[in-house]
Each structure stands twice: as structure tokens, then as C-alpha cells.
Amino acid sequence: METPTWSESLPINRKKAIHELTQGQEWTDKLRQILQRSDHIESDPTSLDGVVDRILGMFDNTLSIMGSSSFNQPFQLPTNYLQSTCSIDEQKSSKPDDGFLFQSSYLHSLCSLDDQESRKFNETFPLQASYLESFHKSRKSDKNSRMVIPVKIKRGCYKRKNSWASTQLTSGLTDDGHAWRKYGQKKILESKHERSYYRCTYKLDQGCLATKQVQKIEDEPPLYKITYMRSHTCKNLQRAPQIILDSPNPRDTSILLNFEAKGLTGNKQVSSYFHTMKCEHEEGFPSFDNLRDNDQSTPSNNCLSWDPITQISQVPSEFVSMSVRLDHGVYLGSEHGDMTSSRAYSSMASIEQHEMDDMFGSNDFNDFSFCVL
DNA sequence: CAAATTTGACCATG
DNA sequence: CATGGTCAAATTTG
């Protein structure tokens, strides 16, 4: 099995997200039609549940996709849309980062969409389209106007060098198998809840530099964003690289992997932490329906158990490791950490192009690929 | 009493 | 200079 290269996979994620949103629209429309025929509900109440399930599943899938690293990809919106303000002039001085849609440069690129792209954008993001329209008008009337538009402010949104991170969204705080020591808590701008900072308990003993951040991003239902940074180097958790992953169900096309890079390239340590990565076959992102249709009664493999409720592979106590060969000839070990989030939110591998560039240099990274045997 | 947590100060970054 | 990340002294917990 070979997955797409990084340069290909990010746009694919975006396409998937758009596809899910489009599907969500269609099924919401079906729901509206059902509601218009109230007698239908009385005769077949289960059909309504089915439609609602499908809609929720699509939004879950989209959230999962959006929870990946590709925050800087176009057509992507925050789940908690922020109503801070910033003038276009101020935005011009900002560099693209994890920010949201309305960066100045991005607005300008949106203004140059062709008719079909523009229509798609308007359908998918009506609220944002209305802001874009305002932006259009202000550009026509006064090129120097300081129109105020909703935007995530950029200040303080930097990423420290060498801080490869992977992000996971979970509805509960569960033991991820590592020993953590809390070392800080911080109020984060525009965030309702404070962010907690944890380091590996064995940092002093063994110099393990792994850290994680935990932040509650939603109350109801509770949703936490957990960001892992740097790999564990503590003796307690290291395993020799080996491949013991398998799909829990032969018919199931998705597995959850957790990569943790340990390799060296040149004189730079590859400390990226690929976490809870979802791999799929080409035919598409598996919907919740597909997952439900699968026979989950016989968890088949030698390592993973399959939770029919969470749809997530669980590894009770063992750490899964696998060896990944890069085209650059670098071997990356990996470990399994947390596979026990209580809902099927999981992030894609989270690493950005410029971070890859930092690790390997910017040459030919489009050739990056990995194999799961 | 040792380990873990809290919290204000300090540091690095953009 | 504002912000997020880390340090370390004070405090709490087991």
C-alpha cells in the first residue's frame, strides 16, 4: 500500500472536507423534505434518525479532516468562528500560519476565483461569501479603505522552530500511556479555556523532551485539543521498530496509525511526532455508514482491538511500533500512544511543508512517501 | 516528605 | 510589544 505524497495528500484532505460538506447539504435538504411531510415521520420515525445520523457523521468526518495540519489550506474554516477584528492593512503584515480564512492575501486570491469556483465557495461558506462580497465592494470604492472584517488576529500565532507537532481532538481526557508532569497553564487569547502544558515525567531522569498541550475547545459536547510535541526518548517507552499493525477487520479500509519519528538525517534530529494517523484506500474517505456496515463482531488481528462504539482501534497496553522508510533513505521509528479517545475524532498526521523543509531541506520533498507493509 | 500542581515571572518569537 | 511557552518558587496532595 502506498499513500499519496504529502503535496498530494493535503489538497485531497480539502477535497474530502468539501465533499463531506456538500453531502451534508444534500442530506440536510432531505431532512427538510422529510420534515415538510410530517405524516412520514409518524409512519417511519427511524428514517429521520438515519438521515440525522448521516448528517452528523458527515460533519464529524469534516471535523476530523479539519482537525488535521492543513489549517493553512484554502476553503478551511474554524469550528469556533472568531469575531475579532483587524484591518486589511494590519493583515498585510502578517505571514500565513495556522490562521483562518480572511488573511488579506487570501481574500485577494478569493477575488480572482472563476465563476464555478466562486459559486462553489458561496454555496459552501455563505457567511464567508458575504464578507468576501463586502471586501469586493470596498476594493472598488476605495483601495485604501481600512475595512474591518472578521479575522483571527495573527499576533502570537507563531510556531517555535523545531516544534513539530501533531494534534488530536478528543471528547475525553484519557490516559495515553505516557507519564506526564504538568508544568504550566496559560490563558490563551480568544480561547474560553486555559491551555495546560505537560512534559514527560522522565525529563530530568532521562532527558526526554516530549511535551503535550491540552486545551478544552468546546464545553458541550466536551472537546479537547491535544497537541503532542517532540518524541519520547525515555527508556520506559522505547521499543525496537517493528511492524505489528493490521486492520482490525479485513473489510475495513481504515486503520489508525501513530508515528513517532526518531531518526536522524544529517545532523538534525527528526523529532516529529506523527500521531494518530488515519490511512485509507483510494476510493475515498470511509463514511460512518461504511464503518457501521462492517462486521465488527470478530476483531481479527493479533494486536489491535476494535471498539464498535468509538470506531477506533485500541491498543490496551502495548505500544505499536513500525518502521517507515522515506525516499530519502531515512528510517523513522514510531510508537503508539493514545488510541483511546472516546469518539472517532482523530487527526491526520500533522506536519507542515516548512517543517519538512527544516528537517530535510526543501529539495524534492514532493517525493516523500511511506509504506505500510 | 517526596512528588505533583499551581501560578506569577521570565523568555523567545514575530 | 503582545503573546505563547517555560521556569521555578510556593503550595498542595498522597
A131-151 pLDDT, tens digit each: 455 545 544 444 443 333 333
Asked if residue A303 belongs to a domain, the reply is no
pLDDT at A190 over 80: yes
Same domain, A14 and A52: yes
Do the domain assignments include residue A232?
no
Three-class SS of residue A64?
A: helix
Nucleotides on strand C lying under 7 Å from protein C-beta? 2-8
| Distance from residue A72's CA to nucleotide B4's C1', rounded to whole Å | 38
In a domain, A143, yes or no: yes
pLDDT above 80 (res A208): yes
A257-272 residue pLDDT tens = 333 333 333 333 333 3
Residue A65 and residue A99 in one domain: no
Chain-centre distance of CA A305, in angstroms? Answer: 23
Separation in Å: C4 C1' and A373 CA: 40
- For residue A219, tell me if it sits in a domain: no
Per-residue confidence (pLDDT) for residue A116, from 0 to 100: 63
- Give the distance, in angstroms, between residue A197 CA and nucleotide C1 C1': 24
Structural domain includes residue A144: yes
A327-352 burial, b for 16+ CB within 10 Å, e for fewer? eeebebbbbbbbbbbbbbbbbbbbbb
The answer to whether position A56 is within a domain reads yes
Instruction: Pick the last residue of a domain from A69, A103, A118.
Output: A69
Total count of domains within chain A: 2
Q: Is the pLDDT of residue A195 over 80?
A: yes
Same domain? For A61 and A105 the reply is no
Q: What pLDDT sits at residue A53?
A: 56
- H/E stretch holding A179 reads none
- Mean pLDDT, all residues of chain A: 50
What is the residue range of A63's domain? 6-69
Residue A301, in any domain of the structure: no
Percentage of chain A lying above the pLDDT 90 cut: 6
Q: Which of A14-23, A63-72, A147-156, A178-187 has the lowest mean pLDDT?
A: A147-156
> Residue A163 CB closer than 7 angstroms to strand B?
no
- Same-domain check for residues A92 and A40: no
Residue A57 pLDDT: 58
Asked which of A118, A150, A182 is the last residue of a domain, the reply is: A150
pLDDT band, residue A29 (cuts 50/70/90): low
Among candidate residues A69, A104, A124, the one where a domain is terminated:
A69
CA of A197 to C1' of C13 (A): 19
Output A94 or A214, whichever has higher pLDDT.
A214
pLDDT at A204: 85
Say if residue A60 is in the same domain as residue A89: no
Q: Which runs of consecutive H residues, i.e. helices, occur in chain A? A: 6-36, 38-43, 45-66, 88-92, 104-111, 115-124, 126-141, 203-206, 288-293, 353-360
pLDDT tens-digit readout, A30-59:
776 766 665 544 445 455 555 655 665 566
d(CA A139, CA A143): 5
Residue A49 sits in the same domain as residue A101: no
Q: Give bridge partners of residue A360 from the DSSP assignment.
A: none
Looking at per-residue pLDDT, the higher value among A155 and A174 belongs to: A174
Q: Report yes or no on A231 lying in a domain.
A: no
The pLDDT of A274-286, averaged and rounded, is 30
The answer to whether residue A293 scores a pLDDT higher than 50 is: no
